[in-house]
Homo-oligomer: A and B are copies of this chain.
């Protein structure tokens, strides 16, 4: 990069995603200054201690005021409540992005907003089940897709610089509508998370009923329940905000599961092998 892409980048939510993006922005020299803020003050302090950011802002408003690029890495219910107000005071030179997992409600919350163009909705398809500043990773976005949602609703200059940001951290870009995004995310991410949580609960209950000693589990169960360790405060609002597409995805899965159940109950080897193919 010949010149610094952004002066000050503000990270609201210095956890797994916000913290990882801060790390990469620093690594690739894309900001002159990184400022952090977090609703949980201890997380903000920890992010500073870890060097994810150079300094902390006392409030979200203060962070927004001083940021050339403001990254909103917050639970999706907080995002929807917060974004419209933040856009009120945004200056024409500023850019706001989010990194949330549900987009239609967010898009609706700022549809027709006079400063809508300064906002670019982003969803990096990367993460782990860990959370908080200590979960931040270098290179988390490298080779992973970042979806840019409703790009035509953003000002061309804002869109261009946000593309440069994501490409700079190694992400592969794709664009889609909020509706297509929410359907995609429901199938590829939200519904699988529901399955992982439901599976973890099934195992826990069997253990509680003393029908099972789960310490005998091999790697398969660990793999299937890994994402059930994801933070509830992040996922519960996603499930509710993306209710329609999520219920459709859960129902689609339940139908396939029922087909497996039937093939097993019917001793139908042929049907079973076909379902597994």
Contact residues of A with B, CB < 8 Å? 125-128, 144-145, 147, 174, 183-184, 187-189, 191-199, 201-203, 205-206, 211-221, 223-224, 226-228, 232, 235-236, 239-240, 243, 246-247, 249-254, 256-257, 259-261, 264-265, 267, 269, 272-273, 275-277
Given contacts A197-B276, A228-B276, 17 further A-B contacts (CB under 8 A): A125-B216, A127-B218, A127-B220, A144-B218, A145-B216, A188-B203, A189-B218, A194-B264, A195-B195, A195-B224, A195-B257, A197-B275, A198-B253, A202-B253, A205-B256, A223-B224, A240-B272
CA distance A211 to B252 in the complex (A): 12
Q: Are A184 and B197 CB-contacts (below 8 A) given A221-B192, A240-B267?
A: no
CA distance A203 to B252 in the complex (A): 9
CA distance A123 to B277 in the complex (A): 26
Which residues in B have their C-beta under 8 angstroms from that of A212?
183-184, 187-188
Is the beta-carbon distance between A243 and B218 smaller than 8 angstroms? no
> Looking at the complex, which one of B184, B227, B249, B265 makes contact with A220 (CB distance below 8 Å)?
B227
With both beta carbons as reference points, the residue of chain B lying nearest to A196 in the complex is identified as B224
Q: Are A257 and B187 CB-contacts (below 8 A) given A243-B265, A265-B243?
A: no
Contact sample, A vs B, 5 pairs, CB 8 Å cutoff: A188-B220, A194-B264, A198-B275, A202-B256, A243-B267
Q: Are A260 and B198 CB-contacts (below 8 A) given A125-B216, A227-B223, A273-B236?
A: yes
Copies per assembly: 2
Is the beta-carbon distance between B240 and A264 smaller than 8 angstroms? yes
Is the beta-carbon distance between B243 and A264 smaller than 8 angstroms? yes
Which residues in B have their C-beta under 8 angstroms from that of A260?
194, 197-198, 250
> Looking at the complex, which one of B125, B196, B254 makes contact with A217 (CB distance below 8 Å)?
B125
Is the beta-carbon distance between B201 and A187 smaller than 8 angstroms? no
Q: Are A247 and B261 CB-contacts (below 8 A) given A174-B216, A212-B183, A276-B235?
A: yes
CA distance A253 to B227 in the complex (A): 17
Is the beta-carbon distance between B201 and A184 smaller than 8 angstroms? no
Most buried by B among A147, A193, A256: A256
